[in-house]
Structure 1
Amino acid sequence: MNSTCLWVLLLLCGLTSAEVGENAVETRSCFPDMCDLLREFGSMAEKLKVMETRLQDSETRLQDSETRLEISETRLQNSETRLKNSETRLNDSEHQILDLKSKERTKVIFSAAIGRNGAVGPYNTDTTLVYRTVITNIGNAYNAATGIFTAPVPGVYYFTFFCHAGGRYEVKLFLFKNGEKIVGIHDHSSYWDTADNGGNAVFLQLQQRDQVYVSMPANSHVWGDDYVTTFSGSLVTQM
């Protein structure tokens, strides 16, 4: 390694020697242009080191900036996610409010009487009573031509039915839901009891298009007019 460096120095610089008397004086000198070049090269090397240091500092700052940018992007994504969640909850709340308003707007109330002003029955077969005198029919869910109430919306409904009848014949009335007997009124016949009154009521959970009506069994009767034998119902709460 030392010999290599020596040869390089010999190539770059001239070597002169002189002896005066007994003392030998050795003088080394560089070629002027080569020495200037070496000095410039050394200066450039120093500048290069400075530039490399500055470049490393810049790269470090750039990495820090990229890291901060990634953190900012992550925060932005989190904010966007929270915003979307908030929008979803807001939409759900708006739909719930609209549903509640729709339920509040749905009104179902009816009352009707048999009418006719006379005895209804007895008949040989079970008969669906038709309450022809409509007193109230908000929502038009009761059909005065058939005597059948049809639920317009799912919900809990409240029904009542009352009757007046003479005592000579047995009195039976049953409230049906889709052909299923739910509740009824019953009074035995008697010759000494000239008039009977009865009634019943029930809460029913209905689905849309479920049907409710009052049926009178065979060999039974009621008194028909606009006041005493009635069928009523109303929507209590929508489901």
Structure 2
Amino acid sequence: MFSRRFVLLIICLSVEIDVKASCISEDLIRTLLATRKSCKTGYNENVAFHAYVARNTPFSGDDILKFDNVDINIGNNYDLSTGKFTAPKTGLYQIACTIQGYGTSAVTFQIQKNNDRFDFGYAGGRDWHAVTRVLLMQLKEGDTVFVQHRHPRRKETVAGGRHSYFSGRFLQ
């Protein structure tokens, strides 16, 4: 990302500047080299996503809810074509989900970790009720998290227009 000429220019400039400024120049060089290293490996410490349902969406069977608009996808670990977030590294994550039923439609859902139910929620069927689940999840690299319909026989409608969203971030 940074050419050798650029780094040499900074080194040359730091030599001409007063000795007190050399610490700042050394810190800058370390930062530039660390940035260059992270660009080479493609590794990014930051992991975060936020996606929402744009339009009212039918939800039934064992559907996976696809949050089709993505505001934030640092690390590109949320796949809007599948509706799944894949953990890029092992650690503690905060996962949040708000689901709102459309009109008087109740919505039952579960938050899956891989193919196991981790948590579930129910947005009551009266006057646009919504439910929010905020979870701490210990994930291993490659684990997937997604929102799935909970009752196969029910046909429900999830409210769109940013009323229903799915988000997560790496904590440590």
For each residue in 1:82-133, what CA deviation from the matched residue of structure 2 results, as whole angstroms up to 9, or x when unmatched?
Answer: xxxxxxxxxxxxxxxx9xx97x9411000000112x2x2242x111000110
Deviation at 1:166, TM superposition (A): 3.3
What is residue 187 of structure 1 aligned with on the other side? 123
Say if 1:172 and 1:221, in contact at 8 Å, map to a contact too. no
For residue 204 of structure 1, the aligned residue among 116, 120, 137 is 137
Q: Which amino acid aligns with 1:236?
A: L
The amino acid across from 1:153 in the alignment is K
Name the larger-Rg structure. Answer: 1
CA deviation digits over 1:149-203, x for unaligned, max 9?
A: 01111111110000221353321121100111111211343xxx32111110111
Root-mean-square deviation over aligned CA pairs: 2.1
Aligned residues: 130
Aligned partner (choices 48, 52, 58) of residue 121 of structure 1: 58
Name the residue aligned to 1:110. Answer: 49
Which residue of the partner structure matches residue 142 of structure 1?
A: 78
For the 8 Å contact 1:115–1:133, the answer to whether it is kept is: yes
Tell me which stretches of 4 or more aligned residues in structure 1 moved more than 6 Å: none
In structure 2, the residue corresponding to 1:221 is in which secondary structure?
A: strand
Spell out, residue by residue over 1:15-45, the C-alpha distance to the aligned partner (whole angstroms, 9 max, x if none).
xxxxxxxxxxxxxxxxxxxxxxxxxxxxxxx
User: Which sections of structure 1, spanning at least 5 residues, go unmatched?
Assistant: 1-97
Determine the C-alpha separation between the residues in 2 that align with 1:138 and 1:223.
Answer: 25
TM-score, normalised to structure 1's length?
A: 0.50
Of 62, 66, 71, the residue aligned with 1:130 is 66
The structure whose residues are more often helix, as a share, is: 1
Match of 1:174 in 2: 110
Structure 2 residue runs of 5 or longer lacking an equivalent are 1-33
Q: CA deviation at 1:146?
A: 0.6
**Overall identity of the aligned pairs, in %:** 28
- Secondary structure of 1:228's counterpart equals coil
C-alpha distance in 1 between matches for 2:59 and 2:44 = 42
- TM-score where L is the length of structure 2: 0.69
